[in-house]
Amino acid sequence: MMRSLWTAASGMIGQQFHIDTISHNLSNVNTTGFKQVRAEFQDLIYQTIRTAGTPATEWTVVPTGVQVGHGVKAAATQRMFTQGSLQATGNVFDVAIQGEGFFRVMLIDGTFGYTRDGSFKIDSSAQLLNSNGYRVMPEIIMPEGFRRDTLTITQDGRVTVKIAGSDDPIQIGQLEIYRFINPAGLNAIGENIFKVTNASGDPIAGRPAHDGMGSLIHKFLEMSNVSVVQEMVNMIVAQRAYEFNSRAIQTSDSMLGIAAGLKR
C-alpha cells in the first residue's frame, strides 16, 4: 500500500514540473525569438516480482512477467526550434531570420552567444548592438553622416546605406548567421541568448539564404513560437493528472486506514 503513495507522489511532482514548464512558455508568449519548451518524462525503475520466460513446466515458460512500476520522473526539456510568426515593425534596425540560423553576439566576458532576437540598435559610436549592448558579430558600424531611413539589409545579409549628400548606396558590412547540428542541445542563459555545448556541436557559419541557411527579413521581428491554445490545453491536462495522482494518494490513505482499523 505504501508503494502507491510514493508512486502517486512522483506523479504529482512530475505534473508540477509540467506546469512550471507551461508557465514559462506562457510568460514568454510575447518574447522576441523565444522557442517553446516541451517537458518530457520517463517511467521509473520497476520491481520485478516474476520474470517473463521463467520455466513453468518441463515444456513451457511463463509468457508474461509481473512488474510493478514506481512512478515517473522528468527526463528532459526539449526546446522546439520551429519558425515563429514574423511581425512587421518598420524599424530599420530590426531583422528576422526566416529559416534556420542564429545571430552571433559578443558577450561581456568575450565569449559568443547566439540568438534569434533581431531587435538591434546602435550606440553613440553607431555600432550595431542587441538590446543588452552586446555587439553583433561580424561588427557593423554605421559611417559618419549616414541616413537612417536609407539603411537596407538584404535577404543574404548585405548591409547598405546612403550617406548625406550622396544618392549612391554603399555596402558597410555583411551579416552572417550560424546554425548547429543539434540546436536543441544549446544552453539557454537568458536574455534571449544561447551558448554552445558539446551536445549542440560547433557553430557552422554561413551567408544568409545560402547553403541551407535561413534568409533575413528586414524591418521584421520573429515572435515567439508558443501557441497559447496548445499551452492552455496542456495546462488542463497537467492539472487533471495532478488531481488524479492526489486522489490516488487519498485512496491509498483510506485503504491504509481500513487495514489499520481491522483489529477493532
pLDDT per residue as tens digits for the range 11-32: 999 999 999 999 999 999 999 9
Distance (Å, rounded) from C-alpha 160 to C-alpha 145?
13
pLDDT given at position 142: 93
Q: Which residue has the cell 561588427?
A: 139
| pLDDT above 70 for 73 | yes
**By C-alpha distance, which of 205, 203, 199, 204 is closest to 186?**
199
Please state the rounded mean pLDDT for residues 40-63.
Answer: 89
pLDDT in tens, 76-118: 999 999 999 999 999 999 999 999 999 999 999 999 999 999 9
Q: What is the CA radius of gyration of the chain?
A: 27
Contact present, 164 and 157 (Cβ < 8 Å): no
pLDDT computed for residue 253 by the predictor: 87
Q: What is the mean pLDDT of residues 242-254?
A: 92
The pLDDT tens digits of the residues spanning 189-201 come to 999 999 999 999 9
Q: What is the pLDDT of residues 120-153, one digit of tens each?
A: 999 999 999 999 999 999 999 999 889 999 999 9
Query: Is a pLDDT exceeding 80 seen at residue 221?
Result: yes
Q: Which residue spans within the chain are E strands per DSSP?
A: 37-43, 46-50, 66-69, 72-79, 86-88, 95-98, 103-106, 112-115, 121-122, 128-129, 135-137, 152-153, 158-161, 170-174, 177-179, 187-190, 193-195, 204-206, 215-218, 220-222
- Compute the half-sphere exposure of residue 17: CA atoms within 13 Å on the CB side of its CA: 17
Q: What is the pLDDT of residue 1?
A: 56
CA pair distance 180, 100, nearest whole angstrom: 9
Q: What is the pLDDT of residue 56?
A: 84
At residue 264, the pLDDT reads: 62
Q: Could you identify the residue written with the cell 512512478?
A: 71
CA distance 65 to 51: 5
Rounded-to-integer distance, Cα 61 and Cα 57, Å: 7
Q: How far is CA 47 from the centre of its chain?
A: 35
CA distance 225 to 35: 6
pLDDT, the chain, mean: 93
Q: What confidence score (pLDDT) does residue 112 get? A: 97
The answer to whether residue 252 scores a pLDDT higher than 80 is yes
**Location of C-alpha cell 541557411:** 213
Q: pTM of the prediction? A: 0.89
In angstroms, the CA 59 to CA 63 distance is 12
Check if the beta carbon of residue 249 is closer than 8 Å to that of residue 5: yes
Across the range 241-250, mean pLDDT stands at 94
pLDDT at 240: 96
* Closest-CA residue to 245 (of 68, 49, 16, 1): 16
- The answer to whether the beta carbons of residues 14 and 41 sit under 8 Å apart is yes
Distances (CA, A) of 130 to 6, 44, 100, 155: 48, 44, 20, 19
